[in-house]
Structure 1
Amino acid sequence: MKDAAADLASIRALLQAGQFEPAINHCMELVQALPDLWEAWYLLGCACRGAGDLANAQMALRGVLQAQPDNLPALRELAQVLELMDELVAATEIYRRIYHLDPTDSFASLKRGDILSALGRSSDALACYRAVLAGDPDNLAGLLSAGHAARALGEKPAAIDNYRRACRAHPTSGTAWHSLANLKDYVFSDAELDAMEHSLAAGSEQDAAALGTLFALGSAYDQRGEFDRAWSCYRRGNRLGESLRPWSAEAFQAEVDAVIEAFPAQQLAVTSRTPPSQPSPIFIVGLPRSGSTLVEQILASHSAIEGTRELPSLPRLTRSLRSRSDPRQRYPHIVASLGPGDLELLGRDYLNACAPQLRSGRAFFTDKLPNNFLHIGFIQMLFPGAPIVHVYRNPLDCCVANLRHHFARQQNFAYSEERMAHYFNQYRRLMAHWEGLLPGRIVNVGYEQLVTDPEGEITRLLEALGVGFEESCQRFYQSGREVHTASSEQVRQPIYTSSIGIWKRYAAQLGDLQALLAR
C-alpha cells in the first residue's frame, strides 16, 4: 500500500497542475494493478472530467459508488459531471443524496435548488434554499436564491423579505441591492438609499460589488424623478461594467459578417423538409428589454402553447458546432455541408435538450432567447415550419432600457453607449438580411403597437402563428406560470404604456447615443 499511496499522491499533484492526460494514464496503470483501489478510480473520474471525457468520468465514478454508495467526494464529483452533461434531473438526485448524507453541506442544497429552478421547478427550489437558511439565516446565496425563486413564482412579498434580509446582513452586496431594484416597482426608503450611498463611499467604486449597487442607486433616483442623478449612477455603473466585462465590437461585427456570408438565399431555399414532430418550438427573438417577455407571457396564456424560460439549447448547439478543429467545419460555415440527415439529428438534439422543461404536453412551446436573432437562418434549416416572432422597440427606448439594466451574466455589449449602439446597428443589419431571405416568414411585433392596441396586435399575432384566439391571452397577467426574467413583475400586471418614450427623461445626456445609432 505504500507504493499505492505514493502513486495516489503523484496523481493528485498532476491533477492540481492541470495535467489531466498524464493523470489518466497513471490512474489506468494503478487500477489495472489494484482494481479494488477505489481512490484511484475516483481520481480517474476527476482526471477524465478535467480532460473533458465526461462519459468515462461518469463510468469511473459510478463504479466507485457501486462499491461505496456513501462516498461523498465521488458523489460531489459525479454531480458536477452530470451537470456538464446536461443530465440535470440526475444531478439534482445526486445533490439531494449529498445533502441527506451531510446536512452541513449547504452548497449541495443550493446547487440542487439552482438546477431545479433552471428546470422550472421553483417551488421545489425554494424548499432547498429554505433548508439552507434554517441552518444559516444570513447565508447570502440562500437569501438571494430564495428571493429569486419566490419572485419567479409571483410571491413578491416573500421575494422582498429575502432581498431586504440580504441587504441588512450584507450591505456591501451589490447583488442584494440590485435584486430589490430589479423588481422595478420597489420603492427604496431614505434609509436604504443612504445605505447604498454609504456602501459606495466606504468601498472602492472599482470593485465588482459596486456594480449592482450603482444600478440600484440609479433606479432609486429614477423613482424620485431625479433623472440627471439617476443617469449619472447608470453611467458610473456602465463604466465599471465596461472595465470588468470585455466585449469586442470588431469581433461581433465579424460574427455578423460570417452569418450573413454563411446564409445566402439559395442555402435556405433548398432545406424544405419534414420538421420533427410535436411539441414544436415557437422562437421569440429580438434584443433584451424589447418586450419579448411580454410576448412570451401572452403566448404562454394560450391553451396550445407552453411557456418555458430563456432556453440555452440553441446556443449550446451552435457552440458544439463551433468547437470543431477544422475552421471550415465550424458554425456558421458548416451549414453549407449539412444534409437532411444531419439537420434531423441536430433538430432532435435540440428537442432532447428542451425536453426537461416541457411538462404540459401542449402542441407548442416558447423558446424566448432574444439573442437567437443571430441564428434565424439555422432555425429555418432545423425547423422549416417553426414560427419565428421578432419583437422590436423604439431604438432609443431599447438602448436606454439596456443601459439602465445590470445583467447578471452575458450581454456585455450593454455596458457603454458605444457598445450598445454598435450592437443595435449590427442587429438591425442582420434582421434586414433575414427579412430579405425569408419574406413573410418572420412575425414582427412592435412593442409600441402591442401596448397601444393590445387586442388588435394579440389577435394578429395568434392568427400569424396559426392558433385560434383565446381570451386568456388578453388576461396574460393572471397567469400563474413561473417567470425568470427581469420583466417578471411587469408581465404580472395589465398592459401599460408608460415605458414608451423613457429615453426622453435623459434626452440631454443622449446626444452621443443618438449620433451613434444614426451611423
Structure 2
Amino acid sequence: MATVTHDQALANARHLLAGQPAAALAQAQAIIEVVPTSAAAHRLAAHALRALGREDEAQAASLDAVGAAIHDPEMIAAALALAEDRLPDAEAALRGRLRDDATDVAAIRMLAEVAGRIGRYGDAEKLLMRAVELAPGFGAARANLATVYYKQNRFAEAVAALDSVLGDDPDNPAHANLKAAALGRIGGYDEAIALYEELTRRFPGHAKLWMSYGHMLKTVGRQDDSIAAYRHALATDPGLGEIWWSLANLKTIRFDAADRSAMEAALVDAAPTDEARADDRLHLHFALGKAYDDAGDHAAAFRHYAAGNAIRSAQLGYDPADTRATVDAIIAHFPAERFAAMAGAGAPDPDPIFVLGLPRAGSTLIEQILASHSAIEGTMELPDIPALALSLGRDAKGDPRRWVEALADLPSDALAELGRQFLARTAVQRKTDKPFYIDKLPNNWLYLPFIRLTLPGAKIIDARRHPLDCCWSNFRQHFAKGQAFSYGLEDIGAYYRDYVRLMAHIDAVQPGRVHRVIHEALLDDPEGEVRAMLSYLNVPFEEACLAFYANDRAVRTASSEQVRRPINRDGVDQWRPYDAWLDPLKAALGPVLEAYPGVPLLAD
C-alpha cells in the first residue's frame, strides 16, 4: 500500500468511526495487515473496538499502537528532543499529536515525562492515569506513575503501583530498587532490606545498590553491616563520592590516612572541568572535611567544607529573601487577633506531636526520648505539612509561596479538612496503636500557623541549640535533599535569625502553645527537661525515656547513630576550632547570638 493510499485509508476509517465502527475496524485491520507498524491504524482499531464494547481488545490495540510508535517519525523526533533535553520542542510536538488523537497512549506517556522533568507532577500524574486507563497493560506508564507518586512523597501509593508493575515484570531491578526506597519511607524496613539483599546478590558490582542497602541498614541500627555495605560499594567504585560521604555521615567512625589519600585521589579524578562529576566532588569535599577534622587539621577541613558548600550552593540557588518574606507575611497576617478569631477551627485530634526547629539542633534526640514512651510512636521526618501548605498556595493563589495569604482566607471547615488530610496522609506511618505519634521535620517551624490552625490539638516542641554549634553543624552537613539555606555561612545565620524571629512572634501571640527545649539544658539536666516535656504533653514520666539509647527503633536522620548512645557533650563547642573562619556567620546572626538562649526583640 503506497503512502497516499495508506493516508486515504486512514482518513476513510476515521470517517466511518462515528457511525459505522465495525466498518472502521475492518478498514483499520486492513491497513494493519499491509503496514503492521502503523500506530495510527492500531489506535483507530482501539477506537472502533471501544465503540463496539470490546474493551479488552481495545486495550490490547492501544498497546499495539505503543509498540508501533517506535517506527513513527514524529514520535522518534519527540523522543530525540526529550533525550537532548529540548523540552519545549518535545512538548510542542506531543501536544500536536494529542490534538490529532487524544488517545495516543505513547504520546500521553511521553508528555507526562516532560511534565515530570519540569516538576509538574500533578499534570504528569493525570496524564499517566489516562494512559493506564486506555492501556492498563502499559507497564512503562505504570512504572512512570509509581515514580511520580514517589516524587510527590506518596510512598504507599508508589509501593502499590510497583507491586502491579513487578507482578508483570518481577525481575526488573529498577522497579525493585524504587520499591525498596519507597518501603523505607513508610517504615517497611524488613521488606526493603530483603529486596536490597536480593538485588545485591544479583548485581554484586552495582555500587549504588550497595550504597542504598547500606542506608537502609544504617536506618535500622545495623551499623557494622552498614559500614560493610558502604565499603563493598567503594571497592566497586572508589570514585563515587556519595559513598564516602555516607560513611562520614555515620558520625561515629574516624577516617584514617589511607582513607584521606583515597578520597584525595578520587577528587583529582573528578576534575572541576567535568561538570558531570560535580556531585562526586561535593560529596568528596564534605567527606574530606570530616576526615581532616578527625585528623585535627582544621584549616584543611574548612577548605574542603567551603568547597563542597560552594558547589551545592551554586546548584540550589537559595535566596534568603524568600524565607524572610514568608516570616514577614506570617507576622503581618497572623497577629493575636487573627488566631483568636480562628480559634476552634481545624481538626481537633490530639494525636500529632511536632518536633521542629533547625536541622542539627537536637530534634532527633528529642524524638528518640519521646518515642521511648509507651504512649508515643516515633515515625520520621514527614513531608506532609509543607506539601499541604504549598499546595494550598498553588491552588488558591496560583503560587505555592503565597500559602500564608491563602491560609488567612480559609473558612473554618476548610481548615478542619486540611487537618484531616494530614492525619489521613500520615496514617501509613503509624505501625502501633499508641495514641500519639511524632512528626520530626525541622522545617515545620516555618509552617507553624498552618499547624496551629489546622491541627489545634497537636503539641509542638521547638528544639533549639546554640547558634554557632547549630549553624556550624549545618554548614558541615550535606543533606540528601532540601535545606538549601545551609550551604553558605551568611545564609545559615540569616535563616537561624528568621527562625528565632518567627518563634518569638508565636510565643507572643500564642503563649504556651510551643514548648521549647534548649539543647544544652537537656544535656545538663536530662531528667528535669524530660519531665518538663512529658508534662507539656500530658503523659506520665517513664524511666524508659531516660534510657532512650536502648530503643532499637529505626532512625533515618543524620543523627541516627548518635541517638543510640547515652547523652553526651561530644557535639558541644565543635565550632570553636573554626572560629577564625566564622565572622560571616556571626555577623548574620547579630543579636540572636548575643541573646541566646533568650529571645531577642522581634524588630531585629
Which SS does the other structure have where 1:498 is aligned? coil
* Equivalent in the alignment of 1:181: 248
CA contact (8 A) 2:124 2:148 kept: no
Gaps spanning 5+ residues in structure 2: where? 1-31, 44-68, 83-89, 592-604
Matched, 1:229 2:296: no
* Residue of 192, 201, 205 corresponding to 1:125: 192
Which SS does the other structure have where 1:89 is aligned? helix
Distance 1:507 1:513 in 2: 10
* Equivalent in the alignment of 2:504: 432
Distance 2:279 2:151 in 1: 27
Which SS does the other structure have where 1:208 is aligned? helix
CA contact (8 A) 2:348 2:456 kept: no
* Equivalent in the alignment of 1:248: 319
Shift in Å, 1:274:
6.3
Distance 2:565 2:96 in 1: 58
* Residue of 196, 215, 236 corresponding to 2:286: 215
* Equivalent in the alignment of 1:154: 221
* Equivalent in the alignment of 2:140: 73
Residues 160-171 of structure 1: pairs in structure 2 closer than 5 A: 160-171=227-238
Distance 2:318 2:179 in 1: 32
* Equivalent in the alignment of 1:265: 336
Shift in Å, 1:402:
0.7
Distance 1:317 1:127 in 2: 33
CA contact (8 A) 1:227 1:505 kept: yes
Residue range with higher mean Cα deviation, 274-283 or 196-205? 274-283
Matched, 1:475 2:547: yes
* Equivalent in the alignment of 1:18: 91
* Equivalent in the alignment of 1:463: 535
Distance 1:86 1:401 in 2: 27
* Structure 1 pair 99–48 and aligned structure 2 pair: CA distance change class (3 A): closer
Please give the per-residue CA displacement for 1:195-214, whole angstroms capped at 9, x wherever unaligned.
Answer: 01111123325722111111
Higher normalized contact order (CA 8 Å, seq sep 6+, divided by chain length): 1
Shift in Å, 1:46:
5.2
* Equivalent in the alignment of 1:35: none
Shift in Å, 1:445:
0.2
Which SS does the other structure have where 1:467 is aligned? coil
Distance 2:149 2:288 in 1: 40
Which SS does the other structure have where 2:497 is aligned? helix
CA contact (8 A) 1:187 1:220 kept: yes
* Equivalent in the alignment of 2:427: 355
Which SS does the other structure have where 1:307 is aligned? strand
Matched, 1:290 2:361: yes
Larger Rg: 2
Distance 2:305 2:447 in 1: 31
Residues 495-514 of structure 1: pairs in structure 2 closer than 5 A: 495-514=567-586
Distance 1:172 1:517 in 2: 37
Distance 1:411 1:235 in 2: 16
Distance 1:478 1:440 in 2: 32
CA contact (8 A) 1:96 1:108 kept: no
* Structure 1 pair 84–143 and aligned structure 2 pair: CA distance change class (3 A): closer
CA contact (8 A) 1:452 1:497 kept: no
Distance 1:278 1:46 in 2: 43
Shift in Å, 1:57:
3.2
Distance 2:366 2:422 in 1: 22
Shift in Å, 1:410:
1.1
CA contact (8 A) 1:110 1:128 kept: yes
* Structure 1 pair 302–237 and aligned structure 2 pair: CA distance change class (3 A): same
Matched, 1:387 2:459: yes
CA contact (8 A) 1:130 1:142 kept: no
The letter of the residue matching 2:419 is: G
Distance 1:316 1:134 in 2: 37
* Residue of 82, 95, 98 corresponding to 2:162: 95
Please give the per-residue CA displacement for 1:65-84, whole angstroms capped at 9, x wherever unaligned.
Answer: 2xx4xx43243234235446
* Equivalent in the alignment of 1:345: 417
The percentage of counterpart residues that share the same residue type is 36
CA contact (8 A) 1:130 1:146 kept: yes
The letter of the residue matching 1:298 is: I
CA contact (8 A) 2:345 2:454 kept: no
* Structure 1 pair 394–239 and aligned structure 2 pair: CA distance change class (3 A): same
Shift in Å, 1:103:
5.2
The letter of the residue matching 2:339 is: L
Shift in Å, 1:494:
0.5
Which SS does the other structure have where 2:515 is aligned? strand
* Structure 1 pair 322–276 and aligned structure 2 pair: CA distance change class (3 A): closer
Matched, 1:322 2:393: yes
* Residue of 162, 167, 183 corresponding to 1:116: 183
Distance 2:445 2:152 in 1: 26
Matched, 1:371 2:438: no
The letter of the residue matching 2:371 is: A
Matched, 1:302 2:373: yes
Which SS does the other structure have where 2:575 is aligned? helix
CA contact (8 A) 1:279 1:361 kept: no
Matched, 1:140 2:245: no
Count of aligned pairs = 505
Distance 2:399 2:208 in 1: 43
CA contact (8 A) 2:207 2:234 kept: no
CA contact (8 A) 2:347 2:457 kept: no
Distance 1:60 1:518 in 2: 55
Residues 445-456 of structure 1: pairs in structure 2 closer than 5 A: 445-456=517-528
Distance 1:81 1:370 in 2: 25
Residue range with higher mean Cα deviation, 215-224 or 275-284? 275-284
Shift in Å, 1:128:
1.5
CA contact (8 A) 2:260 2:291 kept: yes
Residue range with higher mean Cα deviation, 491-500 or 258-267? 258-267
Distance 1:164 1:507 in 2: 34
Shift in Å, 1:518:
1.6
